[in-house]
Amino acid sequence: MRIRCFWAGVLCLAGIHAFGMVSGAEEAPSLEQVYVNMPEVSVYGKGIGEDVAEAWLGKDKLEFVGSTSFAESGEPVYYYVLLDVSNSMPEAYFDEIKQSIRNFEGTLKPDDRMALYTFGEQVELRLAEEHVPEDTQAALDAIDNVDNKTLLFEAISMAADRADQVPTEVCRRRVLVVISDGEDFTVGKTVAQEAQENLRRKGIPAYACAIKDTARENINNFGEFARTSGGQLMIFGKEEAGSFLDAFVQDMDAAEVMEFQAASNAASNSLETFTIRTGANQTFTRDVLVSRHKEDHTAPTILYTKKVADNQVRLEFSEPVRGAGAAGAYMVTRADEEGSSDIVAVTGVSVDTGNPNEVVLTFAGELKPGKYTVACTNIFDLSMESNTVEGTAGFEVEEPTPVLEAVEPTTAEKLLAVLKKWFWVPLLALAGAVAAVAAVAARKKREREVTPFERLEEPDAKPAASVPAVSLELEEDDDCTRRLFDYPETGLRSYRLEFFDMDNPEQVYQANVEERITLGRSRECMVCIPDNRTMSGCHCEIVLQDGKMILRDMGSKNGTFLDENPNRVTEAELKAGSIIRMGSARLKVQIREIKG
């Protein structure tokens, strides 16, 4: 049975405003923006900070420092509002949208800023970041929607370029707010990809504000563009056109800031993938250009040295270094009590697999007594500055304690030692014998003085009642379960797949078993889950192949996973009871026979 998505009821809800289609409690976890200033990595998102399991930047694992709400961070936001002034924007919306922009500027925090662009036949910067409310009023009064063309993607790229020029010490979080009917997202896909790449390299999200009175395809493409960049989609009708931005700043403040720390300040000057995994095994990724770094002039040092074998010494550096695996990078000298010193050659170096900051130095022979000093050359930290190891470390090998030779005792000495050790044994035996004799004598005396009682006959013992044996024979379990396609001749004609939502047990999706079943957010899918923003339009499919059900990923952004396997599924066999994970959605699969 093909599941259909009915959007009309959702879009007609009154009071839709920024992110109003999903309440704060129901909104899916999301990753908006990643700011990198190596070794510091700051991440803006929602619903992730309290459940961070691990995070990576490229191949390097990051240390999670902590998270806080964006409102408490005190950081500002620079908003770049892009308004469509083409004549495809309905007149009933346009004046109200301009009023909404005026209201929006009134909700900004003291350090927030707003710039305004219009795009139609040309892209114009109407308001720079620094202006007064009177400037806003004059600029909006001069704007009208009469243009025949829409240079939407050019406007996005120009606004992103300007936002990227804001010094990071002034503002790290910069976002685009694009107000349009979304037509260009359908007809200008090639240019859209170029604009998306520009946003990706600059790490700037775009929030899409789409009017309700436009084609569904326009809205879908507009929303997909926004979500890919890290933003979200908002849809508003003409009744909300004058107020749809009123809660936008409040929603931005509801985000969280997660702080991570890398091992060094090394910046690759290339795009790397930031990956975060939660305790619920949800994975979120965002590509980020790693081009900024903080200066690091702290030199690494040797924390300690310790002799671990006759010819081996372990030492640990204060931070990750490179060049530590070369034997020639170490100079080890020994000083004895007479004041002479010599160089002890290092013949081998092994790096600890558990702690790469630790190495073990191996020498040709046993280390002689004396005081040793270890110095390093050509060993650097991993920073952009390549700081060399500073200082030395020492350890001492003491003179061995002399061992006295044992002298074999004589026979008389051995006998005397035995007597000294065990002399109390015969005394104890003698005392025990005396006590036993005394006890026997006392007992006989009591027997003579005491008249014994009459001994009674013992009653006949009654036989115990017999208990019938209980049979514990268990019936053999007859497993009558049949595989779906084992017995086609039995008359089973068709089957139905039932998908149980693990996070909403009352929600069950059904689909007849056909040669191909598609799952995703798009209404074209047989199993459609429209409200889950972590799913792709066509996320995955189930196909029949040689009597088996095969699960295949369809190039989804967040991947398809099966049961508890942490690896993405490209193609895998699907069985009854399996759990399919698509983004944050979890569906348990059951098979039902359709009788009749």
Which domains occur in the chain, in start order? 16-294 (3.40.50.410), 302-397 (2.60.40.1220), 488-594 (2.60.200.20)
Q: What is the pLDDT of residue 187?
A: 59
Max Cα separation, the chain? 136
Q: What is the pLDDT of residue 474?
A: 35
CB 484 within 8 A of CB 592: no
Closest CA to 527 of 227, 538, 578: 538
Closest CA to 281 of 22, 29, 43: 29
The pair of structure tokens assigned to 173 is: 């979080």
Amino acid, res. 436: A
Q: How many CB atoms lie within 10 A of CB 115?
A: 22
Amino acid, res. 506: E
Q: What is the pLDDT of residue 155?
A: 94
Name the CA dihedral angle for 53, 57, 62, 64, rounded to a multiple of 10 degrees: -50
Region at 378 (left for phi over 0; alpha for psi -120 to 50; beta for the rest): left
The pair of structure tokens assigned to 567 is: 């690896």
Supply the DSSP string of 272-317, one letter for each residue: EEEEEEETT--EEEEEEEE--B----PPP-EEEEEEEETTEEEEEE
Residue 258 DSSP symbol: E
Q: What is the pLDDT of residue 515?
A: 81
> Exposed/middle/buried for 108, CB within 10 Å: 0-12, 13-18, 19+?
middle
State phi, psi for 25 to the nearest 5 degrees.
-75, -25
The pair of structure tokens assigned to 124 is: 């114009």
Cα angle, residue 210 at apex, residues 207 and 213 outer, rounded to 5°: 175
Residue 459 DSSP symbol: P
Cis peptide before 320 (omega within 30 of 0): no
Question: Whole-prediction pTM value?
Answer: 0.59
Report how far residue 457's alpha carbon sits from residue 592's, in angstroms, rounded to the nearest whole number. 78
The pair of structure tokens assigned to 296 is: 């690091």
Q: How many helices (H) and strands (E) does the chain have?
A: 11, 33
Q: Decide: helix, strand or coil at residue 156.
A: helix
State phi, psi for 416 to the nearest 5 degrees.
-65, -40
Residues 6+ away with beta carbon under 8 Å from 272: 57, 58, 287, 288, 290
pLDDT digit string (tens) for the chain, length 596 residues: 333 333 333 333 333 333 444 333 356 889 999 999 999 999 999 999 889 999 999 999 999 999 999 999 999 999 999 999 999 888 889 999 999 999 999 999 999 999 999 999 999 999 999 999 999 999 999 999 998 888 899 999 999 999 999 999 999 999 999 999 887 765 555 588 899 999 999 999 999 999 998 889 989 999 999 999 999 999 999 999 999 999 999 999 999 999 999 999 999 999 999 999 999 999 999 999 999 999 999 999 999 999 999 999 999 999 999 999 999 999 999 998 887 889 999 999 999 988 989 999 999 999 999 999 999 999 999 999 999 999 999 999 988 776 555 556 777 667 667 666 766 666 777 777 777 777 766 666 555 544 343 333 434 444 444 434 433 333 333 333 333 444 344 444 577 889 999 888 888 888 888 788 999 999 999 999 988 888 999 999 999 888 888 999 999 999 999 998 889 999 999 998 999 999 889 999 998 877 75
Q: What is the pLDDT of residue 487?
A: 38
Name the CA dihedral angle for 15, 17, 21, 23, rounded to a multiple of 10 degrees: -90
Residues belonging to the chain: 596
